[in-house]
Every structure is written in structure tokens, then in C-alpha cells.
């Protein structure tokens, strides 16, 4: 069996596959056109977000059996086309759940204490303590939208802060743990002080958390998005940040990352967003820790080998 890896991964993934007799070709410099030339020779493809695996690409992948995503989301892979061709999708969401959870907690604490602007004020020569009197997380209600690997990891870390944690997940049939109370969407909208988004990007969730949706929550909401930018349209978010409907937003992901120089509309929207004092940003790194770099590859290797051995047996 042959495996093509087209993105940077931790060496433990390559070593683990080779130890099981899989021929691994590690080509992190490949772009889509390079992969298209050779993909018919491989049974396994591993990538992060290098390119989209769509119908046209899969038609070239005559012998492909597995696609491994070295990360959490599968939004750059056409799951329907994979299913139709018998290609199994495997991802490693557990590998960076800890990193995402810690980043989310950091975002929440930065917002409640306005640490970004407080630090900047000192650098600007001001020492205005009263302007930066913070809020305590204790006794706040945190609403988690999506209770998969990431949402659960966040809830587990919030457990010790003395806050109330609720979660909404449309697709869970049984509740997995005691760290968050199961809530209806209406309860989340009525009672949440801090909303943290942990949804996958799908056709259903694309642009779902829009201005209309956010206006159903209490005024003065604190908002965190470490999931996918496509879930939360920025153009509609800006007026809510300006009029106080959203007190503060912490965004690790944006709809276009990064925008191109030719996309003047997106650049204009982002310029406005970046100028707002009640916004804190990071460049899609919530799950991007030194530890998660290795753990993602370990998890993915284990899952791929498990599936291969299961088929053999």
C-alpha cells in the first residue's frame, strides 16, 4: 500500500506508517497539480488544507481508499463524493482539542479583562486603572455551540472556574459528560453571557451564526470563534460590535484567510473590523501548539492503521 503526504506533518506519522509496511512518499511542497499527476498510484492521501479534494480530483484517484486529514475539520474534502467512491475519510480532531480549548479559555479571559487594550494603553503612556476594571468568569453563563471534541475540551476546562456551562448540539443522542448541561437553542440564546462556537463547517452551518442569529442572544454577549470563519459572517458582525449587541469578539478564524490584494471588499470589511477596540484576533492558530503538532500525527496514524487492519481481518 502506498501513501502520499502533501502537507507538513510530524515525522511520527511517517515513521508509524512505514513500520507497518506502507510505502510513504512525503511531498510537502506539492500543490494540487503535482498531486493530480500521481494520485492514481496511491491508496492513501494525507493532507491538511493544501487544496480541496473534489469530484475532479477524486476521478483521478482511481485506487484511493483512505484520505487522512491532519487536523480537525473536513470542509476541504467532498465527503459525498468520497462516500460514493468508497473512499474513507479519517481526521484527527482529538489531536488538537487540548490546544483549541486552552486558546478558547485565553480568549475569554482576555475579553473579560480587556487585556489587549490594557497592555496597549500602558505602551501608549497611560496608566488608567479604572478604565480596565475587569469582569470575573465565575458565575457567568458560558454557552457552547457544538459539543464535539473541541466543545467538550472547553467545557472540561471551564468546570473549575465556577461558571455555569451549557451546550447545544443538534446531533448528540446521548450526553457524554458532566462538564456542561445540555441546553436547547432557545435556552442558549436566552441565558448565555459568553458564546463559544465549536461547530464544523458544513452546508448547514455555513453563515449560520449571522447577525440575525446573534441578535437573538442577550445584549452585551461575549463571542468566541475558534471553529471556522465561514460559520460567522464578518460583515454582519461589525454593526453588532459597534452598537453593543456584541460586547466583545475573539476570533481565531475569518472567512478569508488571508485576503488577497485584489479582494477589495473583504479588505475593506477587515480594515473596519481590525479598527474596533472590542475585537481580539489570532491567525487561525487555536489548535496550532507544539504539542498538537505531534498529537495530530499520532492520532491520525493510529486511526489509519486501525482501519487498514480492520479491513484485512
Whether 97-281 and 2-91+290-312 are alike in CATH topology: the answer is yes
- Annotated domain spans of the chain: 2-91+290-312, 97-281
Give the global pTM: 0.92
Question: What's the rounded Cα separation, in Å, for the pair 101 and 156?
Answer: 9
Instruction: Catalogue the active-site residues.
Output: 228, 257, 284
Q: How far apart are CA 131 and CA 134, in angstroms?
A: 9
Tell me what pLDDT residue 294 has. Answer: 96
> Is 97-281 a domain of CATH 3.40.50.720?
yes
Predicted local distance difference test score (pLDDT) of residue 49: 87
The pLDDT of residue 219? 97
Q: What is the model's pLDDT at position 313? A: 63
pLDDT per residue, tens digit, the chain (313 aa), is 999 999 999 999 999 999 999 999 999 999 999 999 999 999 999 999 889 999 999 999 999 999 999 988 888 899 999 999 999 999 998 999 999 999 999 999 999 999 988 888 899 999 988 888 999 999 999 999 999 999 999 999 999 999 999 999 999 999 999 999 999 999 999 999 999 999 999 999 999 999 999 999 999 999 999 999 999 999 999 999 999 999 999 999 999 998 888 899 999 999 999 999 999 999 999 999 999 999 999 999 999 999 998 877 6
**Rounded to whole angstroms, how far apart are CA atoms 139 and 146?**
21
- CA atoms of 117 and 155, how far apart (whole Å): 27
The CATH number of 2-91+290-312, from 3.20.19.10, 3.65.10.10, 3.40.50.720, 1.25.40.80, is: 3.40.50.720
Question: Which residue stretches of the chain are H helix?
Answer: 11-19, 32-38, 55-60, 79-84, 97-113, 115-123, 149-158, 185-191, 211-214, 234-243, 264-275, 290-312
Instruction: Spell out the residues 6+ positions from residue 258 whose beta carbon is closer than 8 angstroms to its own.
Output: none
CA 64 vs. chain centroid, Å, equals: 27
Amino acid at each position: 500500500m502506498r501513501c502520499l503526504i502533501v502537507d507538513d506533518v510530524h515525522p511520527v506519522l511517517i515513521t508509524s506508517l512505514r513500520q507497518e509496511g506502507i510505502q510513504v512518499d512525503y511531498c510537502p511542497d506539492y500543490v494540487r497539480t503535482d498531486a493530480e499527476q500521481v494520485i492514481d498510484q496511491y491508496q492513501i492521501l494525507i493532507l491538511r488544507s493544501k487544496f480541496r479534494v473534489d469530484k475532479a480530483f477524486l476521478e483521478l484517484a482511481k485506487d484511493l481508499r483512505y484520505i487522512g486529514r491532519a487536523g480537525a475539520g473536513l470542509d476541504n474534502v467532498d465527503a459525498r463524493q468520497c462516500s460514493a467512491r468508497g473512499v474513507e475519510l479519517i481526521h484527527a480532531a482529538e489531536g488538537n482539542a487540548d490546544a483549541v480549548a486552552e486558546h478558547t479559555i485565553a480568549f475569554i479571559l482576555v475579553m473579560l479583562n480587556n487585556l489587549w487594550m490594557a497592555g496597549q494603553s500602558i505602551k501608549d503612556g497611560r496608566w488608567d486603572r479604572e478604565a480596565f476594571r475587569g469582569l470575573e468568569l465565575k458565575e457567568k453563563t458560558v454557552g457552547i455551540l457544538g459539543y464535539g471534541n473541541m466543545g467538550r475540551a472547553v467545557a472540561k476546562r471551564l468546570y473549575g472556574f465556577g461558571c455555569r456551562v451549557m451546550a447545544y448540539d443538534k446531533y448528540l443522542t446521548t450526553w457524554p459528560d458532566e462538564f456542561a448541561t445540555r441546553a436547547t437553542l432557545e435556552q442558549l440564546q436566552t441565558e448565555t453571557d459568553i458564546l463559544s462556537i465549536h461547530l464544523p463547517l458544513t452546508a448547514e452551518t455555513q453563515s449560520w451564526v449571522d447577525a440575525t442569529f446573534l441578535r437573538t442572544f442577550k445584549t452585551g454577549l461575549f463571542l468566541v470563534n475558534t471553529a471556522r470563519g465561514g460559520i460567522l459572517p464578518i460583515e454582519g458582525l461589525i454593526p453588532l460590535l459597534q452598537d453593543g449587541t456584541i460586547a466583545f469578539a475573539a476570533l481565531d478564524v475569518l472567512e478569508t484567510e488571508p485576503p488577497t490584494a485584489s479582494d477589495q471588499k473583504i479588505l475593506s470589511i477587515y480594515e473596519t473590523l481590525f479598527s474596533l477596540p472590542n475585537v481580539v484576533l489570532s491567525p487561525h492558530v487555536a489548535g496550532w501548539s507544539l504539542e498538537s503538532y505531534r498529537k495530530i500525527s499520532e492520532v491520525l496514524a493510529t486511526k489509519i492503521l486501525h482501519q487498514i487492519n480492520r479491513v484485512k481481518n
